[in-house]
Protein backbone atom coordinates (compact mmCIF):
# COMPACT_ATOMS: atom_id res chain seq x y z
CA UNK A 1 0.00 0.00 0.00
CA UNK A 2 1.11 3.57 -0.62
CA UNK A 3 0.09 7.00 0.51
CA UNK A 4 -3.22 7.41 -1.27
CA UNK A 5 -3.10 9.20 -4.56
CA UNK A 6 -5.40 12.17 -4.95
CA UNK A 7 -7.74 12.24 -7.94
CA UNK A 8 -8.67 15.76 -9.06
CA UNK A 9 -10.57 17.27 -11.99
CA UNK A 10 -9.63 19.74 -14.68
CA UNK A 11 -12.84 21.37 -15.83
CA UNK A 12 -16.25 19.69 -15.83
CA UNK A 13 -15.48 17.05 -18.45
CA UNK A 14 -15.23 13.98 -16.21
CA UNK A 15 -18.11 15.11 -13.99
CA UNK A 16 -20.40 15.56 -17.00
CA UNK A 17 -19.42 12.07 -18.18
CA UNK A 18 -19.99 10.56 -14.72
CA UNK A 19 -23.48 12.08 -14.46
CA UNK A 20 -24.41 10.50 -17.79
CA UNK A 21 -23.53 6.87 -17.02
CA UNK A 22 -25.60 4.28 -15.16
CA UNK A 23 -25.27 3.64 -11.44
CA UNK A 24 -23.66 0.28 -12.23
CA UNK A 25 -20.96 1.99 -14.29
CA UNK A 26 -20.53 4.65 -11.58
CA UNK A 27 -19.87 1.83 -9.11
CA UNK A 28 -17.29 0.22 -11.41
CA UNK A 29 -15.54 3.57 -11.90
CA UNK A 30 -15.39 3.88 -8.10
CA UNK A 31 -13.79 0.43 -7.83
CA UNK A 32 -11.15 1.21 -10.49
CA UNK A 33 -10.39 4.58 -8.92
CA UNK A 34 -9.87 2.83 -5.57
CA UNK A 35 -7.19 0.67 -7.18
CA UNK A 36 -5.47 3.71 -8.71
CA UNK A 37 -5.65 5.64 -5.42
CA UNK A 38 -4.30 2.91 -3.16
CA UNK A 39 -2.16 0.37 -5.06
CA UNK A 40 1.51 1.11 -5.78
CA UNK A 41 1.83 -1.02 -8.92
CA UNK A 42 -1.31 -1.81 -10.88
CA UNK A 43 -2.07 -3.59 -14.13
CA UNK A 44 -2.44 -1.93 -17.51
CA UNK A 45 -5.89 -3.40 -17.30
CA UNK A 46 -6.77 -0.30 -15.23
CA UNK A 47 -4.30 2.38 -16.34
CA UNK A 48 -2.22 2.55 -19.51
CA UNK A 49 0.04 5.14 -21.10
CA UNK A 50 -1.32 6.47 -24.39
CA UNK A 51 1.40 5.71 -26.94
CA UNK A 52 3.23 8.55 -28.71
CA UNK A 53 2.16 11.07 -26.06
CA UNK A 54 4.08 12.82 -23.32
CA UNK A 55 2.55 11.70 -20.03
CA UNK A 56 -1.06 11.12 -21.11
CA UNK A 57 -2.77 8.04 -19.65
CA UNK A 58 -6.17 6.41 -19.99
CA UNK A 59 -8.07 4.87 -17.09
CA UNK A 60 -9.80 1.74 -18.34
CA UNK A 61 -13.22 0.72 -17.07
CA UNK A 62 -15.25 -2.21 -18.38
CA UNK A 63 -18.77 -3.21 -17.39
CA UNK A 64 -21.03 -5.81 -19.00
CA UNK A 65 -19.02 -5.71 -22.22
CA UNK A 66 -19.07 -1.93 -22.44
CA UNK A 67 -15.71 -0.14 -22.47
CA UNK A 68 -15.06 3.31 -21.02
CA UNK A 69 -11.93 5.45 -21.18
CA UNK A 70 -11.03 8.34 -18.89
CA UNK A 71 -7.97 10.39 -19.88
CA UNK A 72 -5.66 11.60 -17.16
CA UNK A 73 -2.10 12.52 -16.26
CA UNK A 74 0.05 12.54 -13.14
CA UNK A 75 1.03 15.73 -11.37
CA UNK A 76 3.84 15.35 -8.83
CA UNK A 77 3.39 11.61 -8.52
CA UNK A 78 0.48 11.30 -6.14
CA UNK A 79 -1.99 13.53 -7.96
CA UNK A 80 -4.03 12.12 -10.85
CA UNK A 81 -5.72 14.80 -12.99
CA UNK A 82 -8.84 13.73 -14.85
CA UNK A 83 -9.72 15.15 -18.28
CA UNK A 84 -12.32 14.06 -20.84
CA UNK A 85 -13.96 10.62 -20.83
CA UNK A 86 -16.08 8.61 -23.24
CA UNK A 87 -17.59 5.21 -24.02
CA UNK A 88 -15.35 3.37 -26.45
CA UNK A 89 -17.23 1.91 -29.40
CA UNK A 90 -14.31 1.11 -31.75
CA UNK A 91 -11.14 -0.92 -31.31
CA UNK A 92 -8.91 2.13 -31.58
CA UNK A 93 -9.26 5.17 -29.37
CA UNK A 94 -10.58 8.02 -31.57
CA UNK A 95 -7.82 10.46 -32.44
CA UNK A 96 -9.97 13.57 -31.71
CA UNK A 97 -10.48 12.34 -28.13
CA UNK A 98 -6.71 11.97 -27.65
CA UNK A 99 -6.03 15.39 -29.18
CA UNK A 100 -8.64 16.98 -26.93
CA UNK A 101 -7.13 15.30 -23.87
CA UNK A 102 -3.66 16.58 -24.80
CA UNK A 103 -5.11 20.08 -25.19
CA UNK A 104 -6.69 19.84 -21.73
CA UNK A 105 -3.43 18.55 -20.25
CA UNK A 106 -1.51 21.54 -21.66
CA UNK A 107 -4.27 23.87 -20.45
CA UNK A 108 -4.07 22.37 -16.93
CA UNK A 109 -0.32 22.87 -16.52
CA UNK A 110 -0.43 26.37 -18.08
CA UNK A 111 -3.16 27.37 -15.62
CA UNK A 112 -1.26 25.80 -12.74
CA UNK A 113 1.90 27.73 -13.63
CA UNK A 114 -0.09 30.96 -13.79
CA UNK A 115 -1.63 30.23 -10.38
CA UNK A 116 1.82 29.52 -8.92
CA UNK A 117 3.10 32.86 -10.23
CA UNK A 118 0.10 34.66 -8.70
CA UNK A 119 0.58 32.77 -5.42
CA UNK A 120 4.24 33.80 -5.29
CA UNK A 121 3.27 37.41 -5.97
CA UNK A 122 0.80 37.24 -3.07
CA UNK A 123 3.48 35.83 -0.78
CA UNK A 124 5.91 38.56 -1.83
CA UNK A 125 3.20 41.15 -1.28
CA UNK A 126 2.53 39.80 2.22
CA UNK A 127 6.25 39.94 3.05
CA UNK A 128 6.47 43.50 1.67
CA UNK A 129 3.44 44.58 3.70
CA UNK A 130 5.03 43.27 6.91
CA UNK A 131 8.20 45.23 6.13
CA UNK A 132 6.18 48.38 5.44
CA UNK A 133 4.47 48.05 8.83
CA UNK A 134 7.91 48.01 10.46
CA UNK A 135 9.18 51.11 8.59
CA UNK A 136 10.17 54.12 10.73
CA UNK A 137 9.74 56.78 8.03
CA UNK A 138 8.42 57.21 4.49
CA UNK A 139 11.88 56.98 2.92
CA UNK A 140 12.11 53.43 4.28
CA UNK A 141 8.70 52.66 2.77
CA UNK A 142 9.95 53.88 -0.63
CA UNK A 143 13.02 51.63 -0.27
CA UNK A 144 10.74 48.67 0.43
CA UNK A 145 8.22 49.45 -2.30
CA UNK A 146 10.58 50.43 -5.11
CA UNK A 147 14.11 49.53 -3.98
CA UNK A 148 16.93 51.88 -3.06
CA UNK A 149 18.12 54.80 -5.21
CA UNK A 150 20.04 53.37 -8.15
CA UNK A 151 17.66 50.46 -8.65
CA UNK A 152 15.81 50.85 -11.96
CA UNK A 153 12.33 50.63 -10.44
CA UNK A 154 13.17 53.28 -7.83
CA UNK A 155 14.84 55.60 -10.34
CA UNK A 156 11.77 55.41 -12.56
CA UNK A 157 9.56 56.29 -9.58
CA UNK A 158 11.81 59.23 -8.66
CA UNK A 159 11.66 60.55 -12.22
CA UNK A 160 7.86 60.30 -12.33
CA UNK A 161 7.63 61.96 -8.91
CA UNK A 162 9.79 64.89 -10.05
CA UNK A 163 7.63 65.38 -13.15
CA UNK A 164 4.56 65.33 -10.92
CA UNK A 165 6.03 68.03 -8.66
CA UNK A 166 6.96 70.21 -11.65
CA UNK A 167 3.58 69.77 -13.38
CA UNK A 168 1.53 70.53 -10.26
CA UNK A 169 3.73 73.49 -9.29
CA UNK A 170 3.46 74.88 -12.81
CA UNK A 171 -0.30 74.53 -12.84
CA UNK A 172 -0.71 76.21 -9.41
CA UNK A 173 1.64 79.06 -10.35
CA UNK A 174 -0.17 79.68 -13.64
CA UNK A 175 -3.55 79.80 -11.94
CA UNK A 176 -2.17 82.09 -9.24
CA UNK A 177 -0.93 84.44 -12.01
CA UNK A 178 -4.41 84.27 -13.58
CA UNK A 179 -3.02 83.13 -16.92
CA UNK A 180 -4.49 80.66 -19.36
CA UNK A 181 -2.24 78.01 -20.87
CA UNK A 182 -2.34 79.95 -24.15
CA UNK A 183 -1.37 83.25 -22.48
CA UNK A 184 1.56 81.62 -20.68
CA UNK A 185 2.68 79.96 -23.91
CA UNK A 186 2.73 83.33 -25.72
CA UNK A 187 4.75 84.95 -22.89
CA UNK A 188 7.50 82.33 -23.05
CA UNK A 189 7.44 81.74 -26.80
CA UNK A 190 6.03 78.23 -26.99
CA UNK A 191 2.75 76.50 -27.81
CA UNK A 192 -0.31 75.97 -25.62
CA UNK A 193 -0.11 72.22 -26.30
CA UNK A 194 3.41 72.16 -24.80
CA UNK A 195 2.24 73.88 -21.60
CA UNK A 196 -0.68 71.43 -21.45
CA UNK A 197 1.63 68.42 -21.78
CA UNK A 198 3.92 69.83 -19.08
CA UNK A 199 1.01 70.32 -16.69
CA UNK A 200 -0.02 66.71 -17.30
CA UNK A 201 3.51 65.38 -16.86
CA UNK A 202 3.50 64.05 -20.41
CA UNK A 203 6.75 65.44 -21.82
CA UNK A 204 10.40 66.05 -20.96
CA UNK A 205 11.52 69.55 -20.08
CA UNK A 206 14.94 71.15 -20.40
CA UNK A 207 16.26 73.13 -17.45
CA UNK A 208 16.54 76.29 -19.54
CA UNK A 209 12.88 75.96 -20.58
CA UNK A 210 11.85 75.38 -16.97
CA UNK A 211 13.63 78.60 -15.88
CA UNK A 212 12.06 80.54 -18.76
CA UNK A 213 8.54 79.42 -17.91
CA UNK A 214 8.74 80.05 -14.19
CA UNK A 215 10.93 83.15 -14.10
CA UNK A 216 9.96 84.97 -17.32
CA UNK A 217 6.41 83.72 -17.64
CA UNK A 218 5.28 83.49 -14.02
CA UNK A 219 7.69 85.72 -12.10
CA UNK A 220 8.84 82.92 -9.86
CA UNK A 221 12.38 82.08 -8.73
CA UNK A 222 13.63 78.50 -9.00
CA UNK A 223 15.97 77.21 -6.31
CA UNK A 224 17.74 74.10 -7.56
CA UNK A 225 18.48 71.52 -4.86
CA UNK A 226 20.97 68.77 -5.66
CA UNK A 227 21.30 65.91 -3.20
pLDDT in tens, the chain (227 residues): 467 899 999 999 999 999 999 999 999 999 999 999 888 887 899 999 999 899 999 999 999 999 999 999 999 867 888 999 999 988 888 999 999 999 999 999 999 999 888 888 888 778 888 888 888 889 999 999 999 999 999 999 998 898 898 889 889 989 999 999 999 999 989 899 989 988 888 877 777 888 888 888 888 887 766 55
Domain pair 6-112 / 148-217, same fold: no
pTM higher than 0.85, yes or no?
A: no
Q: Where are the domains of the chain?
A: 6-112, 148-217
The DSSP bridge partners found for residue 57 are 49, 72
Homologous superfamily, domain 148-217: lambda repressor-like DNA-binding domains (1.10.260.40)
Looking at CATH, the fold of the domain delimited by 6-112 is given as YaeB-like fold (3.30.2310)
Contacts for 79 with CB less than 8 Å, ≥ 6 apart: 5, 6, 7, 8
Query: What is the rounded CA–CA span in Å between residue 81 and residue 167?
Result: 56
Amino acid sequence: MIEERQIIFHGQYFKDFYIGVSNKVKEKIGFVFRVIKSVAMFSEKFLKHVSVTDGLYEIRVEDSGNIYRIFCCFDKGNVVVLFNAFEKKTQKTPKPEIEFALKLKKEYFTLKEKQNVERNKTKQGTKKNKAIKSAKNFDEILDIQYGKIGVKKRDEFEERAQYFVISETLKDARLEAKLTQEQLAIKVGTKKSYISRLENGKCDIQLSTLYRIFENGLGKKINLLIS
